[in-house]
């Protein structure tokens, strides 16, 4: 082998992975082990060794950003432009390219359009309307998610098998059939079609499949643990001739099953592809040894994994900090105090707080706003800026003060009440002309019979409800009960519950968290004032900010210091994940914990609280089972209860508890018993 510069900077395993060029290869790349460096070096090596021309290499990523980064890195290594890598891109972009060339064989025209999600939703809405399906009860986005799931499994409408007794799925299948016919009529594809049509094209036209299979001498895939069935099948067909398929990934970071990712593609790779070479990249260049050992011992509790042990030639580092707090508020104070001490040495940009569920950001945001600590939400919106929270607050404001026109405009047609923009414009004009508020203008226009009949029904309904809520509130002054009544009687709760998708589940959790925030205030006035002040604080801080995000959003990122709050049963592992997927769900939650810990370069701080407002009520929390799986000798334990003997008596970090099939959450069971 020639002494090439790009090989000199590699460790033995990385060099072996780059140099192996004959047959299928699975690179099990642990967190921070330099997988991108290996992939790009391998592409460069294939070209330098003249094993293939650039246009004979297929390199697949999940995002355009990753594809661009890969291209730039290869250019850097080769010291020349890598534009010849014409088949470097995402699954979807490469599939679209192939379909353009063979559109007719795929039942398309070469100028087919690719519709985005907005167009998809609009199309589904039109279909539902023509089929008399109520989109208030079944969300178009949810229908699309089901259709996408079928496409990810390689199923056209005629391939889908459902039980005749399953009315809902029957409805979805009916919509799917019409939806695909419409797409054909429009000469259009959605994202799911790009791969589905491409696979069917290859399966039905062996001559076309052979052209590509013979051309691609080497196929390289990034983040292979995140592939679904149709992506795996696509790769299988394209690699059938030369069989030089190199897949890189980490089964311990497979956390996207809810997006259709199938971990078995990774775990059973050597079954699909005979004579597979497996190389493990276990040397980590990101984290300290204590962080790596802790993460490794935790993930070893999973049964479904290829297996590896991360290590570093760097320092041992600090112990993992484990803290128990009284409640969520104390947890936020504890985290902010630690950040204040740490920020001088590492800077706020290098600090992250990773939560399991997005509603958890509220406590931290409240605290940071109070003490003036700059922060940003990565991959999401700040708590009081979330649409459902603004809706709730607007309802409360209009009840508190009928003259709040901004609140009136926001909620008047949420949920839908047939009060459109034209009607709202009419109300605004009348209000302006007569110098009255929108609420009073609406009443007056109804009296004068100036509102269209259909709109009139919806308008009378909401105005009467606002008056009723105001009277209810004046009678008992219970602001928490008020919001609960508003959510029920306005139809808002029903709107979210009926639209079954992850987004709406998050919205419901956020509203329950808002109710928790309200319980901290004696009355509605002080709460609304608090929110106004909190949201009016100048948050456009320049420079350094603490990073707040979910663990899912943190994948691929790294920070000097990582806070991991809320490690409690029912919250993490999340009860819903366990209930829906059983042992597989528990293992995915544990992989999520592994991802969270391995984002930390120097310091990882885990915490849980003894009480938490969760799912609309205070519960006695129990430490997450994941805490009992952390190696004792790598933990530094802290409790805020050291000074109060009575309060710590029944607290232990590693609590013994009965488990039902190793899946059920004892903390959750205790909570359920309380409800009965």
Closest CA to 498 of 169, 167, 138: 138
Closest CA to 270 of 445, 23, 85: 23
Between the CA of residue 446 and those of 353, 418, 453, 465, 602, what are the distances in Å? 51, 15, 10, 15, 65
Name the residue with tokens 């602001």: 479
Between the CA of residue 481 and those of 141, 401, 477, 518, 586, what are the distances in Å? 31, 18, 9, 10, 35
Residue 223 a catalytic site member:
yes
Return the exposure string of 484-506: e unless at least 16 CB atoms fall within 10 Å of the residue's CB, then b: ebbbeebbbbebbebbbbeebeb
Residue 440 a catalytic site member:
no
Decide: 219 and 235 in contact? Cβ < 8 Å. yes
Looking at 306-382, which runs of residues are DSSP E strands?
320-327, 351-355, 375-377
Closest CA to 138 of 510, 505, 388, 495: 495
| Distance between start and end Cα atoms, the chain | 72
Closest CA to 465 of 413, 399, 391: 399
Closest CA to 668 of 594, 579, 550, 606: 579
Closest CA to 386 of 488, 467, 559, 507: 507
Looking at 473-622, which runs of residues are DSSP E strands?
546-550, 559-564, 600-614, 617-620
Decide: 439 and 460 in contact? Cβ < 8 Å. no
Catalytic residue among 35, 233, 286, 625: 35
Residue 293 a catalytic site member:
no
Closest CA to 469 of 420, 398, 403: 398
Q: What one-character DSSP code corresponds to residue 634?
A: G
Between the CA of residue 204 and those of 157, 507, 622, what are the distances in Å? 17, 44, 55
Closest CA to 15 of 1, 23, 24: 1
Residue 26 parent element (H or E):
strand 25-29
Name the residue with tokens 């998050």: 506
Residue 550 a catalytic site member:
no
Catalytic residue among 190, 223, 366, 568: 223
* Gap between the Cα atoms of 626 and 612, Å rounded: 18
Catalytic residue among 599, 603, 612, 625: 599
Between the CA of residue 344 and those of 81, 321, 326, 561, what are the distances in Å? 42, 19, 28, 13
Residue 149 a catalytic site member:
no
Between the CA of residue 664 and those of 85, 481, 575, 581, what are the distances in Å? 50, 32, 8, 12
* Gap between the Cα atoms of 585 and 579, Å rounded: 8
Looking at 64-202, which runs of residues are DSSP E strands?
88-90, 113-114, 188-189
At residue 268, φ and ψ (nearest 5 deg) are -110, 20
Catalytic residue among 253, 288, 293, 361: 253
Name the residue with tokens 């599939």: 95
Closest CA to 246 of 260, 235, 234: 235
Decide: 27 and 248 in contact? Cβ < 8 Å. yes
Angle at 539 between CA 533 and CA 540, to 5 degrees: 150
Residue 118 a catalytic site member:
no
* Gap between the Cα atoms of 627 and 305, Å rounded: 20
Catalytic residue among 13, 190, 193, 222: 222
Return the exposure string of 123-137: e unless at least 16 CB atoms fall within 10 Å of the residue's CB, then b: bbeebbeeeebebee
Active site residues: 35-36, 222-223, 253, 599
């Amino acid at each position: 082998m020639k002494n090439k510069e790009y090989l000199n900077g590699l460790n033995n395993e990385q060099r072996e992975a780059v140099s192996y060029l004959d047959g299928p290869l699975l690179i099990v790349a642990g967190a921070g082990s330099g997988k991108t460096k290996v992939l790009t070096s391998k592409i460069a090596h294939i070209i330098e060794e003249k094993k293939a021309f650039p246009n004979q290499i297929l390199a697949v990523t999940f995002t355009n950003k990753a594809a661009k980064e890969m291209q730039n890195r290869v250019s850097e290594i080769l010291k020349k432009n890598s534009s010849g890598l014409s088949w470097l891109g995402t699954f979807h972009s490469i599939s679209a390219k192939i379909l353009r060339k063979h559109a007719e064989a795929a039942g398309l025209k070469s100028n087919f359009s690719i519709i985005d999600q907005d167009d998809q939703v609009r199309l589904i809405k039109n279909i539902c309307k023509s089929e008399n399906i109520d989109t208030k009860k079944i969300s178009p986005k949810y229908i699309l998610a089901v259709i996408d799931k079928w496409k990810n499994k390689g199923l056209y409408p005629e391939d889908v098998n459902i039980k005749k007794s399953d009315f809902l799925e029957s409805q979805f299948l009916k919509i799917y059939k019409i939806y695909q016919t419409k797409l054909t009529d429009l000469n259009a594809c959605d994202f799911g079609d790009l791969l589905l049509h491409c696979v069917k094209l290859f399966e039905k036209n062996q001559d076309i499949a052979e052209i590509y299979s013979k051309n691609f001498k080497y196929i390289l895939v990034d983040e292979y643990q995140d592939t679904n069935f149709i992506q795996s099948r696509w790769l299988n067909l394209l690699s059938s001739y030369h069989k030089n398929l190199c897949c890189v990934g980490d089964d311990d970071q497979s956390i996207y099953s809810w997006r259709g990712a199938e971990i078995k593609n990774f775990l059973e790779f050597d079954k699909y592809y005979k004579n597979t070479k497996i190389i493990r990249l276990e040397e980590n260049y990101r984290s300290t040894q204590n962080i790596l050992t802790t993460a490794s011992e935790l993930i070893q509790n999973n049964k479904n994994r290829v297996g590896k042990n991360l290590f570093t030639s760097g320092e041992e580092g600090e112990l993992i900090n484990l803290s128990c707090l009284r409640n969520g508020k104390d947890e936020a104070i504890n985290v902010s105090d630690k950040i204040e001490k740490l920020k001088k040495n590492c800077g706020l940009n290098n600090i992250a707080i990773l939560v399991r569920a997005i509603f958890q950001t509220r406590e931290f945001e409240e605290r940071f706003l109070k003490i003036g600590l700059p922060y940003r939400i990565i991959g999401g919106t700040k708590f009081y800026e979330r649409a459902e929270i603004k809706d709730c607050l607007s309802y409360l404001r209009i009840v508190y003060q009928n003259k709040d026109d901004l609140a009136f405009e926001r909620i008047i047609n949420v949920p839908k009440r047939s009060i459109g923009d034209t009607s709202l414009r009419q109300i605004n004009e009348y209000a302006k002309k007569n110098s009255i508020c929108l609420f009073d203008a609406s009443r007056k226009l109804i009296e004068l019979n100036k509102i269209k009949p259909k709109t009139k029904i919806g308008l009378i309904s909401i105005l009467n409800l606002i008056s009723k809520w105001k009277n209810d509130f004046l009678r008992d002054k219970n602001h928490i009960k008020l919001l609960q009544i508003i959510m029920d009687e306005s139809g808002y709760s029903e709107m979210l519950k009926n639209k079954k998708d992850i987004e709406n589940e998050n919205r419901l959790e956020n509203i329950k968290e808002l109710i928790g925030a309200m319980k901290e205030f004696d009355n509605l006035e002080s709460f609304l004032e608090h929110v106004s002040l909190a949201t009016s604080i100048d948050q456009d801080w320049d420079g350094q900010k603490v990073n707040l995000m979910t663990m899912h959003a943190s994948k691929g990122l790294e920070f000097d210091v990582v806070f991991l709050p809320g490690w409690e049963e029912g919250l993490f592992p999340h009860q819903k994940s366990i209930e829906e997927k059983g042992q597989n769900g528990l293992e995915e939650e544990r992989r999520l914990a592994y991802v969270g810990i391995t984002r930390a370069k120097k310091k990882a701080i885990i915490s849980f609280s003894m009480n938490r407002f969760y799912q609309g009520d205070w519960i006695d929390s129990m430490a997450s089972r994941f805490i009992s799986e952390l190696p004792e000798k790598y933990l530094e334990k802290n409790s805020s209860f050291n000074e109060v003997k009575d309060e710590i008596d029944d607290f232990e970090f590693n609590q013994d508890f009965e488990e039902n099939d190793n899946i059920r959450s004892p903390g959750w069971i205790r909570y359920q018993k309380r409800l009965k």
